[in-house]
Amino acid sequence: MAADQAPRYFGARVARRQDDRLLRGDGRYVADISPAGVLAAKFVRSDEAHAVVAGIDIEAASVAEGVKEVFVGEDFADNEIRCVSSYAGFQESAQPILALDRVRHVGEALAMVVADNEYVAEDAAELVVADLEPLPAAVDIDTALDVGCAPLHPGWRDNAFVRRRATTYGFNEASSSAPHRVSIELHNGRHSGVPIETRACVAEHDPGTGRFRLHTTTQIPHLIRAGLSWALGVPESLIQVIAPDVGGGFGIKAQLYPEEVACCLAARRLSRPVKWVEDRREHFVAAHHSREHRHSVTGYFDDDGTILALEADIAVDMGAYSVFPWTATMDGGMAMGILPGPYRIHEYSVSSTSVCTNKTPYGAYRGVARPAACFSIERLMDQIARHLGVDRVEIRNRNLLADGDYPWRSPSGLIYDSGSLVESLDAVLALGDLEGLLKRQADARTAGRLVGVGLAVFTEQTAHTTQEFKQRGVPIVFGYETAKVRLDASGTAVVSASIHDHGQGLETTLAQVAADRLGLDLEQIRVEYGDTEQVAYGAGTFASRSAVLAGGAVTKAADAVADTLRQVAAHMLEAAPEDMVVETGRVSVAGSPSQFLETTELCRLIYQRPERLPEGVEPHLEASRTYDAHPGTGAYTNAAHLASVEIDPLTGKTRVLSYAVVEDCGPMINPTIVEGQIFGGVAQGVGSALFEEFLYDEAGQPLSTTFADYLVPVMSDIPDFQVAHLQTPSPHTIGGLKGMGEGGAIAPGAVIASAVEDALSHLVGTVTVDRLPLTPERVLGYIDAANGNGTGP
């Protein structure tokens, strides 16, 4: 077949298509949607972490002016959210839509007030009185797992959703004969994505047809439809889910929430649209938390620092319920898989416990377990380097997978397809000017200042599909994404994709892909997504996979449409279809460019002059394709990060002075968008490393319920970034693409911990930084410990 022209848009830094409407204030977010007759919902939430619900008095609220109805648990007792893992021994939880006899975390909804407007609903919610009889709360991993702690769910053996374990065949021998070992216990604070748009939904129900329509802030419209179908007991054909513009997701908006179910049920009961917009305080206690891992890791190594075996015990504080669609096992499983990271480790023994506690349930957040895994293995590498007196870069170079190692089967069974680890580490040292940083550090030390340099390297599984999710024991195995491409008679195209764009720029990148395949201008393509009635089934946007999978599906569908163009053009020009070339705005005969038909002419002909079509060609230009990036084990992106920090010895406040990233996500559709994703991820990672934490007291009371106590990075906290790219294509994906949406957020915890440890390393004693976030109080604790005062943070 003749080769089409070189891509015009793939790889180009084109400006985003969606920006005009967002910049003008014409975006349409869920909170902006108010159907006629809409009512406002307000949830009354538990202020106890663990309690028996002895009674809820809704009398006064129900008769308040403007209140339509107050719902309590029994009203929705036929409905629940249940997400069951197929892992052996998994203990199931049933999350009620509104609490029944028990509450299991502060923020769990007890009642729902539906009223004329938000002001009235909020007033009435104050009148609801819940009689809660407190029970002892299991607020941390050790308390929950203590044999004396009563199980939080009926019929459970203990408070582990699941315990898992895996050991390679040669682990015992390799570990017992190793000349050196280093152990470290690492803690990651509980925090989450905290998008600036809180959650919101608007539910409508048509009593005539029985159909539901739910506008909701989600990344996964089709999966929400599936989950609603289970929770409501209504077939999917009667449920339409629409995710319009969504103000950031980061994983937090990739779960089904009880509020979505409640609004649907209330809309059905009241035959009126019901709208709920979460307030920020609710968000901190009721939107899913993430990241709280505790890892005990031991590295066994030889005199050179070559790792001979790795041992890890992982515990994750999953909160009160198993969440849909991930179950309560995702983080533990992911950490088990990726903890060996980018290193040539053959022998591995790992156990993991997903712990149920009286805290807000735990869902996805950008990077899912990988930030904790990277923190563990990179902290371990730094400790090994220190133990042997070897440089931190050198110890990594001795263990990093090299070009000849691919495909690499990790000791946890992951297949790393390709990468450029050594090269990326090398490149980041130059980009971030390690030499210059060390010089400035030496000068700063002479002046009595605490300056440190940190680095980390990681590999990231992206675009994993069926093969991977099958192994994760999730009830719905997601893999493929779907795209439909339709060219119309005026020669413009609509691309409908099953992914969702809530900032990633897919509305633009998918148009870039389609434009190249069809020879169209970017302006001639419209990309639609988010409405389950409009786009074909697919999982949605999460796990760094949308550009790869939807990009692949768009490529396949557009190619199928282009084939019809070729066929018809060949017929009209009396040439062979395989000699036809798709160019900008035309289809021509290879080698004789004067013989061509304009694409618009072809499109009109195909739809409006069917009598002129060759036999067997149907008069339409439309194709729908799915793509699953076979074999589904993932395309591995890698990156190296290098940063410098300065600590104020009086306050303990850490400031990031510089941050450099070299990332290899294969060929890039739009490098500007890739860089935006990296920067955004790194800034969130800096938040994880230095500021963000959902703290609780011993009774399970959350202490971080406003932006005044849950600190997110602001503009003055974040330095300018330096970024460079390597482009090693994946052998598994169309175009060699690899995903990269999460990567930026993976390494900063490890990098900044390494830098803080380095900054303190010349004080009297050495300290081991083993805990995130590195808040000023914790850093002061490390400084005291290094100076020989106190016991550390």
Partner 1 sequence: MAELSVSVNGELTAAQVDPRTLLSDYLRDHLGLTGTHVGCEHGYCGACTVLVDGASVRSCLTLAVQADGRSVDTVESLASNGELHPIQQAFKECHGLQCGFCTPGLLMSVLELAATNPGCGRDEIREHLSGNVCRCTGYHHIVDAVEAALNSVREQGDGS
Residue numbers at the binding site for partner 1 (CB under 8 A) = 15-16, 18-20, 22-29, 31-32, 34, 118-119, 193-198, 245-250, 277, 279-281, 502-505, 672-673, 675-676, 678-684, 706-708, 712-718, 720-721, 744
719 touches ligand FES (CB under 6 A)? no
Q: Which does 718 bind (CB under 5 to 8 A by kind): partner 1, ligand FES, none?
A: partner 1
Q: Which residues sit opposite 204 in a β-bridge?
A: 213
| Closest distance to ligand FES from the beta carbon of 196 (Å) | 4
CA-to-CA distance for 310 and 306, rounded, in angstroms?
A: 11
Give the nearer residue to ligand FES in terms of CB position, either 498 or 504. 504
Per partner kind, with CB cut-offs from 5 to 8 A, the member of ligand FES, partner 1, none near residue 720 is partner 1
Nearer to ligand FES, 16 or 105 (CB): 16
DSSP string, 88-100: TTPPP--EESS--
**Closest CB to partner 1 among residues 419, 503:** 503
**In this complex, which beta carbon is closest to ligand FES, that of residue 151 or of residue 248?**
248
Out of 73, 363, 419, 503, which residue is the one contacting ligand FES (CB under 6 A)?
503
Shortest Å distance, C-beta 247 to ligand FES: 6
Q: How far is the CB of 360 from ligand FES (least distance, A)?
A: 21
| Alpha-carbon gap, residue 288 to 280, rounded angstroms | 13
Q: How far apart are the first and last CA of the chain?
A: 66
- What angle separates helix 671-690 from helix 748-760, to the nearest 10 degrees? 50
Could you say whether residue 196 binds ligand FES (CB under 6 A)? yes
Closer residue to ligand FES, CB minimum distance, 245 or 663: 245
* Residue of closest CB approach to ligand FES: 196
**Residue 245: which of ligand FES, partner 1, none does it interact with, CB under 5 to 8 A by kind?**
partner 1
Measured from the CB of residue 430, what is the shortest distance to partner 1 in angstroms? 20
Q: How far is the CB of 506 from ligand FES (least distance, A)?
A: 15
Give the integer Cα–Cα distance in Å for 140 and 142: 6
| Candidate list 7, 11, 35, 248; residue touching ligand FES; CB under 6 A | 248
Write each residue from 455 to 494 as x if it is in contact with ligand FES (CB under 6 A), else as -, in one continuous string.
----------------------------------------
What does the block give as tokens for 406? 């691919």
Size of the site for ligand FES (CB under 6 A): 3
- Across the strands, what pairs with 295? 186, 314
Give the shortest CB-411-to-partner 1 separation in angstroms.
34
User: Smallest gap, in angstroms, from Cβ of residue 364 to ligand FES?
Assistant: 18
Record the tokens describing residue 461, joined without a space.
């599984």
Q: How far is the CB of 248 from ligand FES (least distance, A)?
A: 5
Alpha helices in 271-369 (DSSP H): 280-286, 330-338
Nearer to ligand FES, 176 or 716 (CB): 716
Angle among Cα 321, 352, 374 to the nearest 5 degrees reads: 100
Phi/psi region, residue 182 (left: phi>0; alpha: psi -120 to 50; beta: rest), is beta
User: Which of 741, 487, 782 has the alpha carbon at shortest distance from 635?
Assistant: 741
Min. distance of Cβ 345 from ligand FES in angstroms?
Answer: 38
For the beta sheet containing 654-664, the strands, ordered from the edge strand earlier in sequence to the opposite edge, are: 450-462, 635-647, 654-664, 721-726
Measured from the CB atom, is 250 or 301 closer to partner 1? 250
Helices (H), 198-351: 221-232, 258-270, 280-286, 330-338
In the bound state with partner 1, the residue whose beta carbon lies nearer, of 163 and 500, is 500
Q: Cβ 249 to partner 1, closest distance in Å?
A: 8
Q: Is 626 helix (H, G, I), strand (E, B) or coil?
A: strand
For 247-257, letters b (16+ CB in 10 Å) and e give bbbbbbbbbbb
**Residue 413: C-alpha distances to residues 165, 334, 408, 442 (Å):** 14, 12, 9, 43
- Chain residues binding ligand FES by CB under 6 A are 196, 248, 503
